[in-house]
Structure 1
Amino acid sequence: MKIGFIGLGNVGGKLSGSLLRNGADLVVHDLDPALVAGFVGRGAAAGGSPAEMMRNCDAVITCLPSPAASDAVMQEMLPEIGPGKIWMEMSTTDEAEVKRLGALVIERGGAAVDCPVSGGCHRADTGNISIYAGCDRATFERILPLLTIMGRRVLHTGDLGTASVLKVMTNYLATGHLLMLCEALTTMKAAGMDMATTYEAIRISSGNSFVHETESQLILSGSRCVDFTMDLVLKDIGLFQEIAERNGVPLELSPMLIDLMRDGQARYGTRAQSDRMIERLEEATGLDVTADGFPTVLVDDEPEEPGYEVKLKG
């Protein structure tokens, strides 16, 4: 298959890098010509416009910062979509929007997949990230070889749109634990606990999480740079809140998370790194919640391995 990849940012650049590193026939597009030039220098082809990419490729992957960006790209690609063409949306987006755009693809004879990723940019860089895929089973089996290049664990979530629902849910949970960890770490600092000991106490306990093992290290090192900004967090947790409202679930914690993240934006900037939320508590207490020995950049130390489909229990 000839693969087109549109969107070479923090996540897209790493996912497309895995395809290129593993020998995929790859063409790329981004609004930043320097990013395209970098990929061309490594062996990819410049794809031209989104319309040209859909015309010349078997599958086109989009990994973009907003539903509006995906819509704009789709409007360019639509005239070139026909039987055999596949659109793969790897952005974190709204279920209703991916279904709307996917219906436009399907009515022209193409196939549509929402396949967002989860696990952090450092794992996207090594092909060890997890991928959800929402589509019919026949389409899933066509694209599984591509997904197992970009990710380690691949879960077929059901029909188009289901992957986006689950992805938004996981980002909501990650945001909740980030904010709880900010409170926990600051409280332990105020109580006179050693921060390295505190980190390990959480890591080996029932309070552990993926967020702790990654983002707590960046908080404690003082880096606070997880390559995920507050505007993206607010987009994702806002989408989760919308899902709850559409389904009549009266959430209580979700609105609080949204208010806290909005306060972080007001203090540090719309696109401030999400881990800077710890600084709200540092400012309130006068404490410095850092420690020696923690990394300033996350690196995935697991070797790259072939991906596989995750099978459901039962």
Structure 2
Amino acid sequence: MKIGFIGLGNVGGKLSGSLIRNGVDVAVHDLNPEFVAAKVAAGARDGQSPAQLMQDCDAVITCLPSPAASAAVVTEMLPHVGPGKIWMEMSTTDAEEVKRLGALVAEKGGAAVDCPVSGGCHRADTGNISIYAGCDRATFERVLPILTHMGRRILHVGDIGVASTLKVMTNYLATMNLLSVCEALTVMKAAGMDLGVTYEAIAASSGNSFVHETESQLILSGSRDVNFTMDLVQKDIGLFQKIADDHGVPLELSPLMIEMMSDGQRRYGIRAQSDRMIERLEEATGLSITAPGFPTELLDDEPEERGYEVAVRR
């Protein structure tokens, strides 16, 4: 299959890199010509435009920062969609919007796949990230070989839109975990605990999590650069709150978390790194939540392997 890839930012740049590295025929497009040039130098082709990519490729992947950006790109591609063409949405987006756009693609005879990723930029860089795929089974079988070059664990979740719903749920949980880790580390520092020991105590306990094993290290090293900005966090947790509102679920933690993140944006900037939320507590207490020996960037030490479909318990 010939693959088009639109959106070469923090996540898309790494996902497209996995395709290129594994010998897939890839053409790329981004509003930043430097991103395109870097991928062309690595072995991709310059796709010129979304419209041209849909004409030239069997499947076109989008990995973009907002639902509005995806809608604009799909609108440009639609005149060139027909039988056999596939649009694969790897952005974190609104489920209703991806279903709306997917229906437009289907009306033209094409197929749509809702396939966001989860697991951090460092795992996107090595092809070890997890991918949810929402589409009919026949389309899933067509795109699975492509997905297994970008991700380790591939979960077919059902119809289009389901993957986006699950993805915003996981980002809600990750953000909640980040804020609780910030509080836990600060309280332990105030109580006189060694933060290196504290990190290992959490990692060996029932309080451990993916967020702790990754983002806590960046907090403690002082880098606070997880390659995920507060505006993206706000988009995702806002989408989760919208799902709750649409279904009449009265949440208590979610609105508080949104306000905490808004305060972080007011202090440090709309697009500040999300791990800088620890600095709210450092400023309030006068403590430095840092410790020696922790990395300033995350590296995936899991060897790259071809991905596989995750079996669902029935």
TM-score, normalised to structure 2, is 1.00
| Aligned position for 2:265 | 265
1:226-254 residue CA offsets vs partner (Å, 9 max, x unmatched):
00000000000000000011111111100
1:30-64 residue CA offsets vs partner (Å, 9 max, x unmatched):
00101111111111100011000001100000000
| Aligned position for 1:129 | 129
Aligned residue runs from structure 1 range 209-248, under 5 A: 209-248=209-248
What's the secondary structure of 2:156's corresponding residue? strand
| Aligned position for 2:169 | 169
Q: Distance in 2 between matches of 1:241 and 1:86?
A: 30
| Aligned position for 1:298 | 298
Q: Distance in 1 between matches of 2:30 and 2:100?
A: 23
| Aligned position for 1:289 | 289
Q: Distance in 2 between matches of 1:113 and 1:190?
A: 48
Q: Distance in 1 between matches of 2:43 and 2:150?
A: 17
Deviation at 1:306, TM superposition (A): 1.0
What's the secondary structure of 1:155's corresponding residue? strand
| Aligned position for 1:28 | 28
Q: Distance in 2 between matches of 1:5 and 1:49?
A: 10
Q: Distance in 1 between matches of 2:277 and 2:96?
A: 30
| Aligned position for 1:196 | 196
Deviation at 1:149, TM superposition (A): 0.5
What's the secondary structure of 2:154's corresponding residue? strand
Runs of 4+ aligned residues of structure 1 deviating over 6 Å after TM superposition are none
What's the secondary structure of 1:88's corresponding residue? strand
| Aligned position for 2:274 | 274
Q: Distance in 2 between matches of 1:311 and 1:107?
A: 31
What's the secondary structure of 1:270's corresponding residue? coil
What's the secondary structure of 2:155's corresponding residue? strand
Aligned residue runs from structure 1 range 112-191, under 5 A: 112-191=112-191
TM-score, normalised to structure 1, is 1.00
Q: Distance in 1 between matches of 2:292 and 2:119?
A: 25
| Aligned position for 2:55 | 55
What's the secondary structure of 1:177's corresponding residue? helix
Deviation at 1:181, TM superposition (A): 0.4
Q: Distance in 1 between matches of 2:262 and 2:238?
A: 11
Amino acid at match of 1:202: I
Amino acid at match of 1:207: G
Q: Distance in 2 between matches of 1:65 and 1:12?
A: 10
Amino acid at match of 2:137: R
1:72-126 residue CA offsets vs partner (Å, 9 max, x unmatched):
1111100000100000000000001000100000011000011000000000000
Is residue 2:41 matched to residue 1:7? Answer: no
Q: Distance in 1 between matches of 2:54 and 2:174?
A: 34
Q: Give the unaligned 5+ runs of structure 1.
A: none
| Aligned position for 2:79 | 79
Amino acid at match of 1:277: M
| Aligned position for 2:69 | 69
Q: Give aligned pairs, total.
A: 314
What's the secondary structure of 2:43's corresponding residue? coil
Deviation at 1:313, TM superposition (A): 1.2
Amino acid at match of 1:245: D
Q: Distance in 2 between matches of 1:25 and 1:193?
A: 53
CA RMSD, aligned part only? 0.4
What's the secondary structure of 2:290's corresponding residue? coil
Q: Distance in 1 between matches of 2:39 and 2:175?
A: 32
Q: Distance in 2 between matches of 1:273 and 1:255?
A: 20
Q: Distance in 2 between matches of 1:187 and 1:142?
A: 50
